[in-house]
Chains A and B, each alone.
Chain A
Amino acid sequence: MSQETLQDFIGAWIGKMSEIVQTVTGSGPIKYLINWSRMYALWPVHITTACCSAEFGAMMGPRLDPERFGMQAVAGGLRQCDLLIVEGTVTKKMAKRLKIVYEQMAKPRYVIAMGDCACSGGLFHDSYSIVNDVHKLFPVDVYVPGCPPRPEALLSAIVKLREKIRREEVFA
């Protein structure tokens, strides 16, 4: 069996297997189980883009304690994180690094645009060094208005994101 036919055979075999896996996880309890496990382990990336990080820190504090939702405070490595919270204004200089951080995160990854500046450029919408729409860099799941939004508002956004994950397709 020559090299090409071996690769074709393995390719076809893998294709068939992935269909089986998708049909199995696509319906019923397994999909719910996978989504439930994703919902309860949202580890945020430790990158602060601007001044909303003060309120992100306040949310990580003892009063709201997001570890009840499975959000570990400092996750360190990017591979382990699956939630990128864009905290505040994204300048052009930071946008370059933010894009790299987003690409390094493992799928499935979710993005919350926290604060006006991440949603639409907010107070500094007419500045020369700002990226106004963050959704041009990567798809954003939840927008949180407020400058800065209250820690409870951010936690309500995370509860909203969990709703979205629960109803999501496993291999979206």
Chain B
Amino acid sequence: MFLGEMYEGIKHIFKRTFTMKYPYQKLLLPKGFRGRHLLYMDKCTGCGICAWICPERCISMVPVTNDKEYPQNPEKRFPQYWYARCCFCHFCTDYCPTGALDYTPDYELAEYDRDLLLWSPERLSRPTTHIGEYQSVIHDNQGVTYEPVPKTK
């Protein structure tokens, strides 16, 4: 009675396992993945268009107190993101006139304390720390496996 289904199931024993061992294997995310924002402080003019377009008003322009000089941003006002409210739609990156905001594949932003989710401009301008070097490869009869991305690419 169930031979068809059982055969279907048994066939899968010989296929490769689909599970990706997460903490040890991480996917290499495409270049445009909308993760944490990256702020180029030398390009930002502090105009505040990102704060205006943000659907949740989670960007606030805050003065930065460090000794560096920014010719294009005299009052030294930079966007500060509250990631507990940001929906990662990246309208700010698209609407930024000077291209001071960029995508990063960072998505592991979990914190124990909610106040740590308030990312200051300096913290935003740190480069990405995400190391993902696996990709999913579809084999027609073997199912799907995860292989490291060839370094040559």
Also in contact, A146 and B22, with CB within 8 A (given A116-B84, A119-B84, A119-B114): no
> Do residues B85 and A125 form an inter-chain contact, with CB atoms below 8 A?
yes
> Do residues A143 and B84 form an inter-chain contact, with CB atoms below 8 A?
yes
CB 8 Å contact bits of A130-168 with B (1 = contact, 0 = none)? 000001000011111111011011011101100010000
Stretch at the interface among B39-47, B72-80, B102-110: B102-110
> Do residues A145 and B109 form an inter-chain contact, with CB atoms below 8 A?
yes
Interface centre among B22, B27, B82, B117 (most CB of A within 10 A): B22
> Do residues B19 and A153 form an inter-chain contact, with CB atoms below 8 A?
no
Q: With CB as the reference atom, state the residue of chain A lying closest to B55.
A: A123
Q: Least Cβ distance of A87 to chain B in Å? A: 14
Q: Least Cβ distance of B72 to chain A in Å? A: 30
> Do residues A121 and B85 form an inter-chain contact, with CB atoms below 8 A?
yes
> Do residues A63 and B19 form an inter-chain contact, with CB atoms below 8 A?
yes
What separation, in Å, do the CA atoms of A153 and B33 have in the docked complex?
14
Interface centre among B26, B84, B108, B117 (most CB of A within 10 A): B84
> Do residues B26 and A152 form an inter-chain contact, with CB atoms below 8 A?
yes
Q: With CB as the reference atom, state the residue of chain B lying closest to A67.
A: B19
> Do residues A145 and B108 form an inter-chain contact, with CB atoms below 8 A?
no
| Interface flag for A62 (CB, 8 Å) | yes
For this complex, into which size category does the number of interface residues on chain A fall?
A: 20 to 34
> Do residues A145 and B86 form an inter-chain contact, with CB atoms below 8 A?
yes
> Do residues B22 and A116 form an inter-chain contact, with CB atoms below 8 A?
no
- Count A/B pairs, Cβ under 8 Å: 83
> Do residues B88 and A160 form an inter-chain contact, with CB atoms below 8 A?
no
Q: Least Cβ distance of B53 to chain A in Å? A: 14
| Interface flag for A10 (CB, 8 Å) | no
| Interface flag for B49 (CB, 8 Å) | no
> Do residues B108 and A125 form an inter-chain contact, with CB atoms below 8 A?
no
> Do residues A119 and B108 form an inter-chain contact, with CB atoms below 8 A?
no
> Do residues B56 and A122 form an inter-chain contact, with CB atoms below 8 A?
yes
Determine the chain B residues whose CB is within 8 A of the CB of A157 once the complex forms: 110
Q: With CB as the reference atom, state the residue of chain A lying closest to B23.
A: A159
| Interface flag for A53 (CB, 8 Å) | no
What separation, in Å, do the CA atoms of A157 and B112 have in the docked complex?
9
Across the A-B interface, give the 4 residue pairs with the lowest CB-CB distance, nearest first: A157-B110, A147-B87, A119-B84, A120-B84
25 interchain pairs, CB-CB under 8 A? A62-B19, A63-B18, A64-B20, A116-B56, A116-B87, A119-B114, A120-B84, A120-B85, A120-B114, A121-B85, A123-B56, A142-B111, A142-B112, A143-B110, A143-B113, A145-B84, A145-B109, A145-B117, A146-B109, A147-B87, A150-B107, A153-B107, A153-B110, A159-B23, A160-B110
Residues of B within 8 A of A (CB): 18-23, 26-27, 55-56, 82-88, 107-114, 117
